[in-house]
Amino acid sequence: MFVYTPDDVNDCLKLIKTEEEKKRNQIIMSDLFDAFDDDKKGKKKMMHAPPGGGFVRPPPAGSSNNNSAETTTNLKPTASAFVPGGGVGLGGAAASGAAPVPPQAVSSTLDEQRGEDEQKEEVEEVVSSVMQKVAKTLTIGGDSGSDSALSQMAEREQKLKEEQQRKEEKEEAKRLQQMEKERKDSERKKEAEEEEKQLMEELANSKDADSREHLNLVFIGHVDAGKSTIGGQILYLSGQVDQRVIEKYEREAKDKNRDSWYMAYIMDTSEEERAKGKTVEVGKAHFATEKKRYTVLDAPGHKNYVPNMIAGAAQADVGVLVIAARKGEFETGFEKGGQTREHAQLAKTLGVTKLVVVVNKMDDPSVKWDKKRFDEVHTKLIPFLKVCGYKEKDITFVPISGLKGTNVKDLVSKSECDWYGGKSFFDTLDDLEPMDRDPNAPFRMPVMDKYAEMGCMVMGKTESGACRVGQKLTLMPGRIDCKIEKLWQDEDECSICKCGENVRMKLSGVDEKDIHPGMVLCPPNKLVHVTQEIECQLAIVELLDHKSIFSTGYNAVIHIHSVTEEIEVKKLVSEMDPKTRKPKESKCKYLKAGSIGVVRITIAAPICVEKFSDVPQLGRFTLRDEGKTIAIGKVLRIKPKSEEIDNMAKTTGGAAV
């Protein structure tokens, strides 16, 4: 937008006047030439001056020269150079005292002067009109005249100054707001650091915290392998279930002609599960020994409920792979399409590093505690489990009878099984090496479930760090501040929870509707990373028959801690040599089953993740497509969702790359 100053207006007016004077002089000169150019124009006819130097006007039309009266007058010495007739012009005649000019000449001269006056008036009208238009243009719709233009320009300048002042005030307010935000963030950071120190002190001096190690056991395996029955037997043998309850379940199972299902009823509590004889939701129970405390997670074995199994395995520390030793059942579960293979792969991907293989139904008439059958299962499983990533030292085989409870709590007698020299199932669990957990790590708890009960209640497993009542936390993504009002560890209320515990907590400062499974609770000064793009190391397990190539643009579903979200392959960075685990030099165009590569994927919605090297539980994942596990992977690099989160990660010592 242009702004005209008073000097610009004056220069414009001077230019207009100069141009109009030039036009007026041109018009006058043109009229004079037309007056004397009789041959070309023929507008006005001038008479030659008489010998005496006078100028005679032609008589009017229809009158004769004899009747016209002749009158002489003296003219001013102007335009003498333009008078035709040779010799002397009007000026010369006046100067030499020649004969006076006739009246006709005087009348003609007066007409010309009147014409000039009219032309002058027309020019002035044109100049006035142009000035009005210029003034109107400069004032943008204002009144004509330079005073109005100047006043409106002054008003416009004042408005511009006011607008500039408002802009500066807005920027100053924004700057102050940013400073206030930084101040609050600094206060929150200091407060969180003080709470963390206080938490560590309370954790070290806590007397009510159980010193026994806590382990989460997930029972996995093919459908009808006996997982729920073993879980019920464990609770019965550990004293968690009364004998009268067992008798009640026996009657119910007998009424349904399912005599052997009564132990499974302890874990399968819904009528749908009891009617079908199949676990649908992950059952949860607790028991303890003299050395450790355990949480039993009974995962469904049917392929239709694999997502529920993943949710259970995501909370587990130790996997219990249940194998049915009965003739034909082991082969069905272990062959292609069986859940034994998929469950073992998923458990390893979801963080299960130690595996106890329970060979169940050893008391079946087709087996009768046969050592050959046990060795056959052992021989076929070991190579496969090594391929999944398990170390042989972390794999233990235990033969049991889940229905009768043989070799579950107490060691099987020699009279029943004379060849087994190992430990019972309970002793095997108690002798597992302690899990490597860092209590000083930043607190991380993915939300598994939530509900409203006199406040907002959330459930999950503390994957990293510890928490206490009164601690202020932040829910990500969304950065929702909240506070822990109450804590429950298993079913007991407590004031402090360590890493690896299954926790139920009551939160304040947040609405239950704003919380969704997959969100992560973390300290406000050490936020978890939020992203929609990651770079990962991916191992292709098995591809679909009609989608046998894994390439750019491939769509699948990612399962990472408690999050399930759609993804798309953005770029294949490189393919790795399976032997050396180093990238190949050739460009990677696609991956096939059995390949390992570095892949960049985009996620449909922002999710909370960590690098595998920082927090393994939040950095490993599984890709599934059309109900089938196609790949397992771990997060190598994270692209922050925004600059704000990137800056937050840098200031709080995050690991975003």
Identify whether 51 is part of a domain: yes
Residue 415 has pLDDT above 70, yes or no: yes
Kindly state whether residues 227 and 374 are assigned to the same domain.
yes
458, β-bridge pairs: 450, 505
Residue 426 has pLDDT above 80, yes or no: yes
Q: What is the CATH number of the domain that holds 260?
A: 3.40.50.300
Q: What is the CATH number of the domain that holds 495?
A: 2.40.30.10
Cα 76 to Cα 91: distance, rounded to the nearest angstrom: 7
Kindly state whether residues 406 and 485 are assigned to the same domain.
no
Identify whether 93 is part of a domain: yes
Query: Do 491 and 501 meet the contact criterion of CB atoms below 8 Å apart?
Result: no
Looking at residue 40, what is its pLDDT?
45
Kindly state whether residues 236 and 253 are assigned to the same domain.
yes
Q: pLDDT tens-digit profile of 193-225?
A: 776 666 666 665 665 556 778 888 888 888 888
Residue 7 has pLDDT above 70, yes or no: no
Q: Of the residues 91, 113, 139, which one is the last residue of a structural domain? A: 139
Q: Please tell me which residue, 110 or 186, carries the higher pLDDT value.
A: 186
Q: How many domains does the chain have?
A: 4
* Weakest mean pLDDT among 300-304, 449-453, 473-477: 300-304
Kindly state whether residues 98 and 236 are assigned to the same domain.
no
One-letter-per-residue 3-state SS of 539-605: EECCCECCECCECCCCEEEEEECCEEEEEEEEEEEEEECCCCCCECCCCCCCECCCCEEEEEEEEEE
Identify whether 111 is part of a domain: yes
Share of the chain above pLDDT 70, in %: 71
**pLDDT class of 75 with cuts at 50, 70, 90:** very low
**What mean pLDDT value characterizes the chain?**
75
Looking at residue 110, what is its pLDDT?
55
583, β-bridge pairs: 576
DSSP string over 81-92:
GG--SSS--HHH
Kindly state whether residues 21 and 122 are assigned to the same domain.
yes
- Give the CA distances from residue 470 to residues 277, 336, 441, in Å, rounded to whole numbers and listed in that order: 44, 51, 19
Kindly state whether residues 330 and 402 are assigned to the same domain.
yes
Identify whether 606 is part of a domain: yes
Instruction: Round the CA-based radius of gyration of the chain to a whole number and report it.
Output: 51
Q: pLDDT tens-digit profile of 44-59?
A: 444 444 444 444 444 5
Identify whether 358 is part of a domain: yes
State the residue range of the domain holding 632. Answer: 529-651
Kindly state whether residues 455 and 403 are assigned to the same domain.
no
Identify whether 544 is part of a domain: yes
DSSP string over 407-420:
TTSSPPPTTT-SS-
Q: Of the residues 522, 553, 574, which one is the last residue of a structural domain? A: 522
Identify whether 168 is part of a domain: no
Q: Which amino acid is at 573?
A: V
Q: pLDDT tens-digit profile of 344-385?
A: 888 887 778 889 999 988 888 888 898 999 999 899 899 888
Residue 566 has pLDDT above 50, yes or no: yes
**Of the candidates 512, 507, 530, 517, the residue with the CA atom closest to the CA atom of residue 447:** 517
Kindly state whether residues 449 and 424 are assigned to the same domain.
no
Kindly state whether residues 518 and 534 are assigned to the same domain.
no
Looking at residue 399, what is its pLDDT?
92
Identify whether 171 is part of a domain: no
Kindly state whether residues 476 and 625 are assigned to the same domain.
no
Q: Of the residues 522, 557, 572, which one is the last residue of a structural domain? A: 522
Residue 393 has pLDDT above 90, yes or no: no
Looking at residue 358, what is its pLDDT?
92
